Structure 1
Amino acid sequence: MSEEHKPRVLFLAKVYPYPPAVAGDAVYSRGVIEAMSHIARMTVLCADSASEHQQPPEIIWHVVDPPRAGRAGSVLSRWPLIAWKGATRSYHTALDQLLKDSWDIILLDNLGTAHALPKVMRYRDAHPGMRLVYVSHEYEYPMRRAKYDSYAMNWPKRLMAIRDLQKVRNSEERLLRHCDIVTVINTNDIEPFRLVAPGRKYLPIPPGYDGPIVYQRKITEETPRRVLILGGRRSEQKRQILLEWMVAAYDRLTAAGIEMVIAGDMDETLSQQLRKDYPEATVLGFVDALDALFASARMGVIADTLGGGFKLRLLTQVFQRLPIIGLRGAISGLPTDRSAGYLDAPDLPMLVNLVCDTMDDLDRLNSLHNRAFADCAAAFSWQARAEDFAAAVSENPKRVLQ
């Protein structure tokens, strides 16, 4: 497609999606933006993430002031905390200027951009034919309800959480009802979304994978009896998930001679707490390249007791052939069968048992990573995602809209 015939697309993101923004939502946003840049003339508006701004040259970036800090100021806002943080004066000044231009498609990425919905709806009213797309990352309301319910809070904080949860629900439902197309990472979200907004078009956009690929691997007796616990731990929810796993697993795994390695971005306070309370565990913090670490372990554990949706670290484990063992419900969206491509357990004590029982079953471990790789190899192409999106917005959706 020639450059002049490519649609003009405005992508409204939360933050500049390059390191140090390394959470799953930033990684997914970056993948969508870069994939779409091959089929559209892309302009992105986002808040600063303290990155060095090494952006792809074919994308026009408008990077404004960082998101707001804290949370108390969101109480009087109409927006939930995640959107209030990004609803800054500089973001809306830039948005107002960009909406003076001509766009074929505007995308609202993540619930965090819900604050821009009223303005882009007015823009659509004034420009018939422009398509408005909500890029969902998960079904936010039930996920945040479970997260807030799990926190120990005093009554003032609990009341703030209840109020924020209602604003999450209202904002998410507005996005679902007022956007022309809603993209989903996990097709499991389509049914509950359709209960809220039955008239919308839903487009599955599972994440692509463009990281390192290990085409062959054999776990042997020489492979260390090691499990990896991966993922950033900056949020309260993710810290809690890790600490619950350590309470459940550390003594049992240590007694069984199984080493645990914890890798992922975390603050120094958490790092020191882990080293003090669990001296036999190895705490690495953020690791830029995981290849050697994956090759030195027998399995990766997904112990998320909170939060659902598709976890991007699953793809890294699949394509670098690290067998996946986790909690039931925490592994979702992979086109491979449980018990064949991964193993799961219903609760943390049983997950610990499963890790211990499987650690020395080398045939099982090799079968797991081989099956997961074979089933997923052709399913996670960013190019295919971009082609599906182009077909959907051109009103030639074929089989991509549901």
Structure 2
Amino acid sequence: MRCLWITRQDPRPADSGELIYSLGLLKSLATRPGVEITVLAHHGKKSADGGPAVTWELHGTIPTGRLRSLASALPGDAFRLGNPIQRKELTRLLGSQWDWVIIDQAACAWALDQIGKNHRVAYLAHNHETSVRRQVAADGRGSLPMRMALKWDSVKYGRMESALCRRADLISAITPRDADAFRSENPGTPVCILPPGYTGDIPDGPPRPITTETPRTVVLAGAFEWLAKRRNLEAFLAAAASPFQHANIGFQVVGKADPEWFAALSREHPWATFTPNVPSVNPFLDQARIGLIPEALGGGFKLKALDYIFRGLPLASVEAALSGVPVDPATEAIAAPDPESLAKAVAQKIDDLAFLNHAASRALDACRHAFRWEDRGELLGRALENPDAFRA
């Protein structure tokens, strides 16, 4: 089975959620007997080598600037990705025979107008982008020109994703919630659910105990480059300022971020600690009682949930962000519908050591064998070989 895989950029090294997901699926599918994959993408921001046994077609870097996209039918991301260099290389590659053309995330749907009707198309969704972009546009923060641009971009994302789903012979979703949305909008189209795998260390035994000696700290780890991620953090900081300070709870934010932005947040919220671009988040996870998932905006599976669970941390999450995580939000996590109620719930539970240890243990047991990349490659391979088996 020969697959042409179109993605945003070289996912090596995989240092963000979207790159981890793309590289994990590539690696796991490439190991299946008889599968040949050619990847069309831009060069990444960092030098890369090694990785899965695929043919890499890497050309140019992702252009900056979005103003020209305002006059295009494509949203800003897709307009930049579908630049003349990529389009020229795609035309060349489409001259060969392919069993599948795989569109890895919605922004790569710029390629649709070049893909002939004789090609089978698979859409590997990272989010239900129509919903996510609409949420971000409706958030109401930012200048008027920014809000108008986001709204227009969300409309274009919705049109583009709808066209991609109509063209697709197979759709994969990263969470059950997204899968339900795709099925309801595209009845009869095969949809499979492909949560991420996990590449870190998974303990064999129970999680480390949370005791009175464990710092009364909540940790938020992640990448804060996308606008929605930054807004989620800003919203939670506003919601947690009073309950966290009143309960004397430490809040540690760590991960991939602009140091100047973190410095500005530190000045605005001196009760919290912000550490950008560290070699590893594990030392910070080991010095906390709770791992936070505050994403009220944005869909997809939260990879940080697995980092927390496999380091022995119970989850505190906005309810919608737990889709795909096999924990009971009522008894095995601190879950709430919005950042305000989540911050209050964390303050109430921070010293309930029995609950925290129970939640951490149950989550680890549920996830220990549930997130193997090998299983994802097997499932994706079966879906490509027989998509009809995944019709609702």
> TM-score, normalization: structure 1?
0.91
| Cα distance in 1 for residues equivalent to 2:100 and 2:296 | 37
Corresponding residue of 1:145 = 134
**TM-aligned CA deviation for residue 168 of structure 1:** 0.8
| Cα distance in 1 for residues equivalent to 2:201 and 2:281 | 9
> Identity of aligned pairs, percent?
30
Listed one character per residue, the Cα deviations across residues 128-153 of structure 1 (whole Å, up to 9, x for unaligned) are xx532100111111111110111435
| Matched AA of 1:33 | L
Corresponding residue of 2:80 = 85
Could you say what secondary structure the match of 1:229 adopts? strand
Partner residue of 2:297 out of 286, 303, 306: 306
RCO greater where, 1 or 2, for CA within 8 Å and sep 6 or more? 2
Could you say what secondary structure the match of 1:55 adopts? coil
Corresponding residue of 1:48 = 43
Partner residue of 2:228 out of 232, 237, 241: 237
Corresponding residue of 1:162 = 151
| Cα distance in 2 for residues equivalent to 1:167 and 1:291 | 39
Residues matched between the structures, number = 388
Listed one character per residue, the Cα deviations across residues 99-130 of structure 1 (whole Å, up to 9, x for unaligned) are 1222222200101111101222x1x42xxxx5
| Matched AA of 2:260 | T
Listed one character per residue, the Cα deviations across residues 344-368 of structure 1 (whole Å, up to 9, x for unaligned) are 1223332222111111111111110
Q: Is structure 2 residue 272 aligned with structure 1 residue 281?
A: yes
Q: Write the mapping of 1:2-401 to structure 2, written as runs, cut at 5 A.
A: 7-19=1-13, 22-39=15-32, 40-56=35-51, 58-120=53-115, 122=116, 124-125=117-118, 130-215=119-204, 216=206, 217-395=208-386
**TM-aligned CA deviation for residue 298 of structure 1:** 0.4
| Cα distance in 1 for residues equivalent to 2:145 and 2:289 | 45
| Matched AA of 1:187 | P
Q: Which sections of structure 2, spanning at least 5 residues, go unmatched? A: none
| Cα distance in 1 for residues equivalent to 2:101 and 2:135 | 31
CA gap 1:158/1:253 in 2 versus in 1, 3 angstroms: closer
User: What RMSD, in angstroms, separates the aligned Cα atoms of the two structures?
Assistant: 1.9
> TM-score, normalization: structure 2?
0.93
**TM-aligned CA deviation for residue 339 of structure 1:** 2.4
**TM-aligned CA deviation for residue 324 of structure 1:** 0.3
Mapped contact 1:344–1:351 kept (Cα < 8 A) = yes
CA gap 1:189/1:275 in 2 versus in 1, 3 angstroms: closer
| Matched AA of 1:257 | N
